[in-house]
Amino acid sequence: MSWWNISQLSLSGWTDPRRGVRWLGVGLCFLVTLFFPRVFPAFSGEAPVTVSTVRHLGVVGFYNPRLMYVKYQQLVDYLTETTGDRWELAVTLDYEETVQALCSGKLDLAYLGPFTYLRVHEACGATPVVRLNTRGSATFRSLIMVRQDSPLQTLSDLAGTVFAFGSPLSTSAHLVPCLMLREAGLNPGEDFICRYLGHHDRAATAVVLGTADACGVRDIVGERFAERGLRILARSEPIPNFPLVLRPGASPEFRRSLVEVLMERPEHDPEIRRRMQGWDEELAGGFAPVSAADYLPVRRLVDRLFGRRGLVDPPQLLKCPGKG
């Protein structure tokens, strides 16, 4: 059965765990329409609002599922209100599935990390339309973190430890921390044990619980876990911020409409700017112009760690050898 078949949905918004895409909030939407009919005119006797197309925003499961819905549903609602189309949120735990869904046209737009963007561009020529402007910055960082009570003080101290990564295709939870450790003289899978836990929150939680000695996560996640018993051992150099990537074959008019509602309207409309500032901090800074060339520094990191295979090999083959 296709992963787009909504008959697989449960009230919690999650399907069979063996399937990649999880649709969030459908059960919640049903309850809202049941108990708050004025929000949905079609249920209250008023003329229904019509939209021309149903579109899908794909988001890789960087964080735990409930947090994913809280973070990104406001963006989906805004796109529905401003584009004339109905947008739905599609969340995957599998980075590679997001690549395939965008290339096949099942997703119209995808929120991707830089490494995953490079893979989708290599696979089908998908291009970025805007990038995040988190806290007004064009960049973010990867953090390597340990427990506050850990005796580890330098990256070289991580020899013989267990290191928690996110996905093999994560920029800040795999690619960059792996390179940082190599630069410290450690060979992943040989000098320390690699564990892959899927997303950033799980990697950080493993360190909190003591099942791993250190982890790699993006800065926003690391700052949250600094309040839960972790400390920063090392920071990466700045990394180009996350792009929103458009499916191949999308019309110039569609691209233009997205630039208009995500960048131009907020620039000229104080009400929209104030609304965005109330979103999750990752999105509250709005969006900024982007080009494929912005991600050439990340392409060079991929080449250094993996060579050409970094853009084409299955994710499983990009894991550390001898992983735990």
Q: What angle do CA 275, 55, 4 make, to 5 degrees?
A: 125
Contact between 129 and 259 (Cβ < 8 Å): yes
Q: In terms of pLDDT, which residue wins out, 19 or 73? A: 73
The CA-atom distances, in angstroms, between 24 and each of 2, 33, 136, 245 are 17, 16, 28, 20
What is the residue type of 323?
A: K
What is the rounded CA–CA span in Å between residue 152 and residue 252?
Answer: 52
3-state DSSP percent of the chain in helix, strand and coil, to 5: 45, 20, 35
* Domain locations along the chain: 9-137+241-290, 142-237
Q: What tokens appear for 246 in the block?
A: 């458009």
How large is the average pLDDT for residues 147-154?
Answer: 97
pLDDT tens for each residue of 178-190: 999 999 999 999 9
Extended strands (E) in the chain = 21-23, 54-60, 86-92, 109-111, 127-132, 139-140, 142-147, 162-165, 193-196, 214-218, 230-235, 239-240, 243-246, 287-288
Per-residue pLDDT for 306 more than 90? yes
- Which of the pair, 277 or 18, is modelled with greater confidence? 277
Tokens of 97: 């599935």
Tokens at residue 223, please?
Answer: 């700052």
- The domain made up of 142-237 has a fold known as D-Maltodextrin-Binding Protein; domain 2 (3.40.190)
Q: Which residues pair with 243 in a beta bridge?
A: 131
CA gyration radius, the chain = 20
Q: Do domains 9-137+241-290 and 142-237 have the same CATH topology?
A: yes
Burial of 25 (0-12, 13-18, 19+ CB in 10 A): buried
How many Cβ atoms are within 10 Å of 40's Cβ, its own excluded?
15
Task: Give the separation between CA 79 and CA 227, rounded to whole angstroms.
Answer: 33
pLDDT digits (tens, 9 = 90+) for 250-279: 999 999 999 999 999 999 999 999 999 999
pLDDT recorded at residue 191: 97
CA–CA distance, 316 with 322 (Å, rounded to integer)? 12
At 59 the three-state DSSP class reads strand
Q: Which of 153, 178, 156 is closest to 165 using CA atoms?
A: 178
Confidence (pLDDT) at 322: 62
Which CATH number is correct for 9-137+241-290, 3.40.50.1100, 3.40.50.20, 3.40.190.10, 3.40.640.10? 3.40.190.10
- For residue range 76-125, list pLDDT tens digits in order: 999 999 999 999 999 887 889 999 999 999 999 999 999 999 999 999 99
